[in-house]
Amino acid sequence: MNSFLHLILFFVCIIGSTVYSVDRGNFKTCEQSNFCKRCRSLNKNQKSAFELVPDSVVLTDKYLEALITNTNFDDVSLRMRLDGLKDSTLRLRINKDGNQMFNRFQPVHALVSEPITEPMVMARNASTVELELSKIIKVYITIAPFKLDVYVNEELTIGVNHDNLMQFEHYRPKPESIADNEIGSWEEYFKEHQDSKPRGPSAVAMDFKLYSSSSLYGLPEHADSLALKGTSGNDPYRFYNLDVFEYELYNGMGLYGAVPFLMGHGKKNSVGVFWLNAAETWVDIAGVKGNTEHTSVVESIVNLVSGSSTDKDIPRAHFISECGIIDFFIMLGPKPLDVTRQYSSLTGTAPLPPLFSLAYHQCRWNYNDQKDVHDVETNFDVHDIPMDVMWLDIEYTDSKKYFTWDPVRFSEPLEMVNNLTSRGRKLVTIIDPHIKRDSNYFLHNDALNNDLYVKNKDGDVYEGWCWPGSSSYLDFMNPKVQEYYASRYSIDNFVGPTEDIFIWNDMNEPSVFNGPEVTMPKDCIHHGGYEHRDIHNIYGLLQVISTYDGLLKRSNGKKRPFILTRSHFAGTQRFAAVWTGDNAADWSHLKISLPMCLSLAISGISFCGADVGGFFNNPDKELLIRWYQTGAFLPFFRSHAHIDTKRREPWLFDEQTTFLIRDAIRMRYSLLPLWYSLFKNHELTGSPVIRPLFFEFPYEEQLNNIDNEFMVGDVLLVCPVLDQNVQELTCYFPGQEEIWYDRDTYQPIKTNGLMKIPAPINKVPVYQRGGTIVPTKQRVRRSSVLMKDDPYTLIVAIDLKAIAKGSLYIDDEESFEYRNGHFNYIEYEYINNQLISKCLHCEDFNTKSWVEKVMIVGIPNVFTKASIQVNGGSLSELTVLYNTHNQVLTVRKPAVGIAQNWTISLL
């Protein structure tokens, strides 16, 4: 083995085993990224070089089209197209007019379909073009310099190129001498790596001024506060999908995902900007009150009271991308939920996940062998802790060759899977995109023989280093690769698995241990002649799309796939769940998991979670307990740990720790009917499954910076313990006319604002909103599959008017038959001392579940009995119990089918 190979293997071992903090020097700053430095240096006070050509303006029945000139280059003409879209949305595209030296990439993969246009009305004069959309929206295009003003109900809402920072660098031959401002544009070095940049400078940029907003959100994935901070004096927020070990917190470094969606929110309305570009992108933020650390509710209110607004405080964003075209959407709300709906209509929503995926997952790098898997899952039963999914990391493979099994440690994979499924459980295995360069490996040979690999700048197969050592990378831009990769998931090709194995796509940024910034060189070449710099941020999405297609075909389109991905982009929600990557067993990483997942949720990716307990290092008992209590209320609920950490299965601690972890997991299982119904609503409407408080209470400005509390749907307020040695917690209870009921005691809280609450180690501060009805299942089972026919308990929490509403969605929990009408949808209403259940869709699906109990919370002690009427039939008397301490009336055993129409009347 030569010395270079020794060095690389040592480097791989270091990365895999002992290094637990990020080396910032391995990743670029804006100053080291030539195009970012160049575009950021533009002076917003200078005159813009871009002007509309007045005589070129044409309005068709679908869009407005015009030419834009660059006054610095007489021979450069750009074509602009502005579309008015359904649901108060605009789209603007700018590309080079006519032939180009190289095609510019457009990541249409992010869009669920071609957006539907709506007609606009045009008027114009010598200096301005005016467009009207849907009567309430007006767009004014200034001809020279080119800029847009967007008005909603006669109020300026958002301005485009108001700071004159638009840029569109055109491809051109390399000049004999390079101007000072373009040094690094034709060749660039970072550490020992050269980026040849054979196509020269091609950056695009645009600035947005959000006049109606006071705070900005979104731009995931970054380990930062929910409300975006000003970047003056610091690096912009970076979008460049990277493998970052134990990332630093509260900065804008690029991480594993890139969702270039920005939301502005103000007291009057909310707006959104979606920058559709898959290249490296930096986003400067200005005009917002920045936080240098996590914002507590107390700090948020202090900032609000002390702050004063001037013109310079108007929030603004400056998007800078290395290449591609200018292509952005403006969503005009007016409320936060409207903006997410509008954005979701563009990029899609998550299809309803199989129910097991919303339950608890157990993972580590790595479970040693089949016996280890069996022992762990069996111990969950021994200790009476529910668990749905066992996970296998890279060591299950034969020498890191994916779609294979270790012939000794996992010699009988089918037996292992069948043992799990016999107990109602599933298995997830990891499949990474790097392919081991081994002449005895079928996949490597197939890729070489069929030209399936990414090429280097010289046209040869690119070779990098990852877990297997020498590796090459499938080119998912190639339709042949997509088809081939999907076929590998068939039961005939992936020997051993059944339809009960699901997939984890990791390391798909892509991670290259010896590459620049631990990823693939930008001058590598993909199918279609695109450079890697053009498509980098969608590489992981392209892998996930092929995986999804493979799992779909594996069951002939019958079963819903479940995939977890680390790399993500806009639109990933249509195919996979996401987690926050290689976090650490530290209170700060527990705390940051909330704003990270909330930012993803409001940006379309609701199915998010963080590794419970932290991936690196060893949590103490208190941190582990608090992490389980918090993780139980995030959509993706998985424990995971690094190969060098101590084993941390729940029963390996003292009796109290095991008890409290069991209690948190059981709480999650009891609420699975709520989680499932919320995900169905997300699929239909785009509403985030978890959401910041300001989403539900948009006019309450005190909520704008709160990211240590969140809502589950519009039903539960979660105020988790995120700090060490906490016995008392200050929570903010939103809403002027709201009642919040403690989920443990059902005691009412009618405070609007800050309130101290007890938070001992056995307390999970969660509150049900008055006016809601939560369906639960209270029986303890080993997995969600075994709960399918269990009875329901309905928790009716009445509001100040003694009214409550809720709903329940039921189907077979695993197939796509619900899209053929095979489901139950039930609405509940409590009014005038009656609980009314109406099954609005019940014809094509049968369920054995029934109503075991109804708990009416917050009701005075004036009722001594109840009756039930089923399907308009005769009345039957029911037994009721009343608890004077917490004002809960319990109706026991109505014993009515959950999908029947019935009315319970209190007497």
Residues assigned a catalytic role: 506, 582
216 with 262: CB under 8 angstroms?
Answer: yes
Distance (Å) of CA 606 to CA 186, 211, 636: 40, 28, 9
Encode 345-374: b = buried (16+ Cβ within 10 Å), e = exposed: bbbbbbbbbbbbbbbbbbbbbbbebbeebb
Distance (Å) of CA 36 to CA 72, 223, 384: 20, 21, 55
Residues 6+ apart with CB under 8 A from 305: none
| Rg from Cα positions in the chain | 28
* Alpha-carbon gap, residue 882 to 718, rounded angstroms: 27
813 with 353: CB under 8 angstroms?
Answer: no
* Alpha-carbon gap, residue 400 to 644, rounded angstroms: 18
Distance (Å) of CA 95 to CA 202, 441, 495: 11, 44, 47
Which tokens sit at 658? 């095991």
Helix axis angle, 587-602 relative to 621-631, nearest 10°? Answer: 10
Kindly report whether the peptide bond that precedes residue 107 is cis, defined as omega within 30 degrees of 0. Answer: no
Element (H, E) at 837: strand 834-841
| CA end-to-end span of the chain | 85
841 with 856: CB under 8 angstroms?
Answer: no
Residue with tokens 């002649």: 529
Residue with tokens 């034969």: 398
Kindly report whether the peptide bond that precedes residue 334 is cis, defined as omega within 30 degrees of 0. Answer: yes
Signed CA dihedral, 752, 757, 759, 762: sign only: negative
Q: Please, what's the largest Cα pairwise distance for the chain? A: 94
Residues 6+ apart with CB under 8 A from 58: 64, 65, 66
Encode 468-485: b = buried (16+ Cβ within 10 Å), e = exposed: bbbbbbbbbbbeebbebb
* Alpha-carbon gap, residue 559 to 553, rounded angstroms: 9
User: C-alpha dihedral over 579, 583, 586, 588, to 10 degrees?
Assistant: -70
Q: How far is CA 533 from the centre of its chain?
A: 23
59 with 122: CB under 8 angstroms?
Answer: yes
Distance (Å) of CA 467 to CA 16, 396, 437, 440, 570: 8, 13, 11, 17, 27
Distance (Å) of CA 192 to CA 26, 167, 510, 515: 11, 30, 19, 10
List residues bridging with 808 in a β-sheet.
Answer: 826
562 with 353: CB under 8 angstroms?
Answer: yes
What letter represents residue 812's amino acid? D
List residues bridging with 711 in a β-sheet.
Answer: 691, 717
Q: How far is CA 199 from the centre of its chain?
A: 34
275 with 251: CB under 8 angstroms?
Answer: no
278 with 260: CB under 8 angstroms?
Answer: no
- CB count within 10 Å of CB 491 equals 13
* Alpha-carbon gap, residue 439 to 434, rounded angstroms: 15
- CB count within 10 Å of CB 156 equals 15
890 with 899: CB under 8 angstroms?
Answer: no
